[in-house]
Structure 1
Amino acid sequence: MTYKIAILGASGYTGAELVRLIAGHPSIEIAALSGNSKAGQSMAQVFPHLRHLDLPILTTIEDMDFDGIDLVFCALPHKTSQEVIAKLPKILKIVDLSADFRLRDPAAYKKWYGNDHAALDLQKEAVYGLTEFYRDDIAAARLVAGTGCNAATAQFALRPLIAAGVIDLDDIIIDLACAVSGAGRSLKENLLHAELSEGAHAYAVGGTHRHLGELDQEFSAIAGRPVEVQFTPHLIPANRGILATVYVKGDAQALHNVLQKQYADEPFIEVLPIGEHPSIRHIRGSNFCHVGVVADRRDGRAIVIAALDNLTKGSSGQALQNANLMLGLPETAGLMMAPLFP
């Protein structure tokens, strides 16, 4: 059986990444694409690297026909996404890539995103889309909320360790490097080549990054008490990839054992031999996440490092992984491509 899907926001980076991935999927067909600012154009005009594909012309969301569509990927900005999804036919399955349904508490959403939530019933219905930890709930869901790419990377490094009680919950430091595509495709002065290249800079310093809302929510739920990590992201002059370097109190071998056991049967999470550490160059363009553990020179301290591609495993690949579950397809379908190297 072939399922028909629509992508809202196909003219952005995550929308284009969805097209790239789904083009090789054995059981999913792209039936409709929206890109309001590019309506009337072909995907080949907007993204020449997709020229070889036979794709629908971009339309506005208002002109999109949802008859016969089985699932919708919503790759729109936060706030816009909740308003659009609230108007979609209720029979549609939806995977949302925005931040609008990630936080369960409406007050937390307002705190981190600055506005009241406009679709509270949908917010209650949404399942958090970190596939490896919410697999059963995702398979039964109508609406899945994709994670933030930074939040996903940190969680792959830390969730099993928090659950196993092998680290000090009051001493967790996350130093994260993120490639520029994580900021989206819209024009921003700080993302101009002359502003970004040959340098790197911290941003959202002091605990203001919005993905902290997810980390607070998820880590506190696992621990059964409030957990607040120290987190500083850095923008680096690379197109794809996130590298999270996490400093914790705990025995490195014990941490490695927990991670190995947790991810032993996961198709996309690779725990490296102890002492080895990941690089974003080894996961680029793939749905894989590499995790490594290194002992610090001081006894009782360790460094956990996780690397993934923000556009794939951190966003569009995760979205397709979740869609596979929602449609009853093999979870790995369309996602087993090897990373790009060099």
Structure 2
Amino acid sequence: MPAPLPLAVSLGDPAGIGPEIIAEAWTRRDEAGLSPFFVVGGGDVLAKAARMRGLALDVVRILDPSHARDVWKDAIPVLGTLDAEYRPGIPDETGAHLALNSLVEATSRAALGEAGGLVTAPISKSELAHVGFTQPGQTEFLADAFGRPREDAVMMLAGPSLRAVPLTVHCALAEVPDLISKDLIVHRARILNEALKRDFGIEEPRIAVCGLNPHAGEEGRFGDEEQFVIGPAIASLEKEGLAITGPHPGDAIFTPRARKAYDVAIAMYHDQALIPLKALDFDEGVNVTLGLPIVRTSPDHGTAFDIAGKGKADPGAMIAALRMAGEIAARRASRG
């Protein structure tokens, strides 16, 4: 079932691989079963990125998201006239301005109910910082944009082999022990549990929780966060009726046998979740933001400036992000 409204796609950094994988995704729209989408800004960038890859793609600029379906079969719809020079692999301030404006406008269109969801192409956080972007990443930007506490914006990485949620995200590893808490685990597990029911159709989600320390602390020998923080949070959630287990050792929870026992794993820090996800599903990994009033997905990779414009970028994760956003939007619409 397609999304009820076209999806809004932000361009990402025009010097990265975002434009070319968006263009490639549009050319594969039928075989991939994608819902209609429109891109905010960057019409010339998309056209040149498509030519670089040898793609047959026409760009049609639209004035309103409702016009996207009218041109979808024949051309990629681009909302507005914002643009920049296409210089793959050479990020600059003009491109950063385009990336930020595209993200802001695409978010606004989704917030206004003019788009079925938001799909964000990769940005360069360091480049955006030069033009006024103050958040650690797009997940935090979206939480701020909707006036939600950042604890409510739950990042879930999803691929064919694994779903994983990092409890803490964009912070130094040394800060993690002080940032994890019983309240944070409980809060995010509740959001995750409801989102898996509503957006993924899993009636009784099974959640596995990683420990922080080697061997999940081994009864306090290698750290006591499992005993005094993680374990009590799990016990509290069990009393609420959640199907949740742990804390599990981080070196065993992602094995093929272990993955059969849960629908999603909650990791304690960024790399504990992203390393296994990228090892298993790099070309199909999707970043989904749960806990927001809109649907938001993104390919789970960066700008890849080093291969931009060379025809090497795999569009698989962008296609997966577009497909997942359409599926979630359709499921939400069907539930009313």
Point out the structure with the larger strand share: 1
TM-score w.r.t. structure 1 length?
0.37
Point out the structure with the larger helix share: 2
TM-score w.r.t. structure 2 length?
0.38
